[in-house]
Amino acid sequence: MATEIAAIYCRLSQDDGQTGESGSIQTQKTLLTQYCTDHHIAIGGYYCDDGWSGTNFDRPDFRRMLGDIEAGKINTVIVKDLSRFGREYAQMGLYIEHYFEEKGIRFISVTENVDTKSGVDNLMLPFTNVINSYYARQASTKTKAAHRARAKAGMYLGSHAPFGYVKDPNDRHHLIIDPPAADIVRQIFQMFADGIGYVRMTKILRERKILNPIAYFNQNNPDYYKRDYWRKPFDWHATSIRAILLNEAYIGQVVFGKTKTKGFFDKTRINAPEEEWIIVDNAHEPIVSRELWDTVHQLMKGRRRENSNGEIQKFAGMVKCSTCGSSLNVSFDKKKGKYTGFSCWVYKNYGKDRCTSHAIGWKTMNQLVLEDIRRNAKAAKLATPKYKEILIAAKTEKKKQETEKCKRELKSVEKRIAELDKILNKLYEDLALEKVTEERYQVMSKGYEAEQSGLKERRKQLTELITRAESAYENIEKFIPLIQKYTDITELNTHILNELIQRIVVYEKTDNPDGSKSQRVDIHYKFIGYVGMKEMFGLPMVMAMAKDVEIDDALIAEAKELAKELAG
């Protein structure tokens, strides 16, 4: 008989719960070494996977053990109990009852008294494997539930704090600001809001000798990284900048569940639907304001290409065609190093059969938007209460009929949803009482359920429309302090545009009776949408606004100046 040379296999992970010293790797090794001594079995090697789940058979030492089996170095595998070998009964069966048998490998589980030398028809083996697999599923479910409960309570669950934060020494699930790193985070957000692209920003950070997140972490935790891949301390990459700009932690949020595993056995990470995320506001102190976050993320949604100067076109993703709705392309003169104008992307690529040019010059666009912002800012500064009143009246009047129509439709939709609930309940009752056949029930219920599903989606849409319409006052309250800052601006930049403007809609040029051409451009502001300044603020209205505040010569002059601008 061939000499028995055993592989001592040990495993332990968090899914095994509180095993204590009795389940530790060292205890397993000691017990199995003693077993081999008592049964005169030679030990060919120790194979220990510490920190690896029993449902994952792609463990490093497990694979090494299989390699030694293939090489003929061992012919016996010994474990303390079957759960140390694994916790997925189908895979375990394949290894123990098929692979080991084909290779002539004796398998011993000491605690359950399983020894394939006596045959693999021991009923304890499959039953124990099923129980261990069930235990792993239950443990996984409980762990996920515990994590979700903690996330809902606003606890931070990451192993390391994001760059800009450190973990609270009194509560590892709470983040506190790390001032030096937080300052870099603010600079990154501000640079992006100012139109500096990823590539140029990495160059700026390198030139300023700013430590990248990994190098900064290592500076404070010098023994953590065992390899040298972090040792280019000022080497910033676009991916790390983008990761910072996308991290909701910087506005004080805890976000949990963005990714999930495909299944219990397939541990591949996939993106989870947004409705499954857990989002908790005000979980910790924010590093950047919500306004700056929104500005940056509006920029990120646009198509952003850096020009030869490493800058982002400041109107990127903002200028739209009134006919087809597509973005307008911008032209850049490389020789002169400046932008020249906009034209419809669809027209440029597909011709006049699909759209028209909607062309507008860069200088014209820049001047139109600059003047419109200044006019709104002056009106807001001149008499805030009256300006607010005018905006509310304009927005609510415009939306009033639409809102009332939505409310009527919502009432009708909710009534029909309730009716369908009754119909489906009655239909199920008829099925139970055998008044309708199963086939008939399936056909009818499918139609009603589809109708109800469509109505529920429409109810959601209507509710959102009504909520937005009824939040006009709140939105105007947010807009006024934003616009008031820009009364005296003389030049536009990326930050100003993305803070104030939602979109700019360009119409095709039209011929006037006198032979001249004109072109309509609608500027839609954040919070309040399109504001028709000429229609809303004629000279009488501006003078009426002046009466609402302390009148002096300077104010009257400013009111007249604004009226002239509007008339022009």
Closest CA relative to residue 327, chosen from 353, 309, 356, 302: 302
- Domain 5-142 top-level CATH class: alpha beta
E-strand ranges in 212-349 read: 254-256, 259-261, 269-271, 278-280, 319-321, 328-333, 338-344
Q: How far is CA 283 from CA 146, 154, 159, 251, in A?
A: 18, 5, 17, 9
Distance (Å, rounded) from C-alpha 121 to C-alpha 97? 9
Q: CA-CA distances (angstroms) from residue 34 to 82, 94, 103, 115?
A: 18, 28, 26, 17
Strands 5-12 and 76-79: parallel
Write out the CATH class of domain 165-296.
Answer: alpha beta
What gap in Å lies between CA 324 and CA 447, rounded to an integer? 36
Nearest to 378 by CA among 492, 218, 184, 537: 537
* Of 71, 63, 76, the residue nearest 1 (C-alpha): 76
Name the token pair of 63: 């694979």
Bridge partners, 330 (sequence order): 342
Q: With a threshold of 0.85, does the pTM exceed it?
A: no
Please tell me the distance from the alpha carbon of residue 248 to that of residue 485, in angstroms, as a whole number.
27
Amino acid at 361: G
Cβ-contact 341, 359 below 8 angstroms: yes
Angle ∠(404,409,414) on CA atoms, nearest 5? 125
Instruction: Output the pLDDT for position 555.
Output: 47
485-to-51, 192, 377, 473, 531 alpha-carbon distances in Å: 56, 20, 7, 20, 18
Q: Walk along the chain (568 residues) and give the pLDDT tens digit of each residue.
A: 468 999 999 998 766 554 444 468 888 899 999 999 999 999 999 999 988 887 788 899 999 999 999 999 999 999 998 888 887 767 787 888 788 888 999 999 888 888 888 765 554 555 555 555 555 566 666 666 676 777 788 888 887 889 999 999 998 889 999 999 999 999 999 998 887 888 889 899 999 999 988 888 888 777 666 555 555 788 888 888 999 999 999 999 888 877 766 554 555 667 777 777 888 888 899 999 988 888 888 778 765 566 666 567 888 878 899 988 888 888 888 888 788 999 988 888 888 888 988 999 999 999 989 988 888 888 777 767 777 766 766 665 556 677 778 888 889 999 999 998 899 888 888 888 888 888 888 888 888 888 888 888 888 888 877 776 666 667 777 888 888 888 888 898 888 888 888 889 999 988 888 888 888 899 888 877 787 655 454 444 444 444 444 444 554 565 556 555 545 5
